[in-house]
Amino acid sequence: MQDKIFKAICGKVEEEPYARKLGLKLLKLGPGYSLVRMDFTEDMENIFGMAHGGAIFSLIDEAFETASNSHGTVAVALGLAVNYIASPARGATLYAEAKEISRSSRIGTYEIEVRDDDRNLIARCQTQVYRKKDRLPFLD
């Protein structure tokens, strides 16, 4: 069953218009775990020529979404707290790694780190989801 869930989530990420727009790629998926990649391109810069916080947040959110839904039931965000540590260099490849810290029948807690290809810490995030009882709609 786990393989079916992973394949379904991977397929949905590949089809997701927003993920394609930002070039988000799901590299690894496991129970409560996700690794997502994004290349920081010039069109993701803010007014200072640095990585836009929204672009980094989108990378975090994709890792969060895939890790928290990896158990096959719908999980929706309750809250996210992001700390931006450093700005990546233009052209850097960024990786968001989401790890499940705790999970009950209703609440899941995740930590997500964004690092560049040199392993420099770019951002750190703590999140929580509400775990619904509904099965992922695209599993059928």
Look at the chain and report how many structural domains it folds into.
1
Residue pLDDT tens, the chain, 140 long: 688 989 999 999 999 999 999 999 999 999 999 999 999 999 999 999 999 999 999 999 999 999 999 999 999 999 999 999 999 998 999 999 999 999 999 999 999 999 999 999 999 999 999 999 999 998 87
In which residue are the tokens 């999980």 written? 75
Contact, 54 vs 60, CB < 8 A?
Answer: no
Domain range for 17:
2-139
Q: Which residues face 45 on adjacent strands?
A: 51
For 35, what's the count of Cα atoms within 13 Å in the CB-facing half-sphere? 7
**CB neighbourhood size of 4 (10 A):** 10
Is the entire prediction scored with pTM above 0.75?
Answer: yes
Non-local (6+) Cβ contacts of 46 within 8 A are 52, 53
Distance (Å, rounded) from C-alpha 20 to C-alpha 82? 23
CATH of the domain at 48: 3.10.129.10
3-state SS record for the chain: CHHHHHHHHHHHHHHCHHHHHHCCEEEEEECCEEEEEEECCHHHECCCCCECHHHHHHHHHHHHHHHHCCCCEEEEEEEEEEEECCCCCCCCEEEEEEEEEEECCCEEEEEEEEEECCCCEEEEEEEEEEEEEEECHHHC
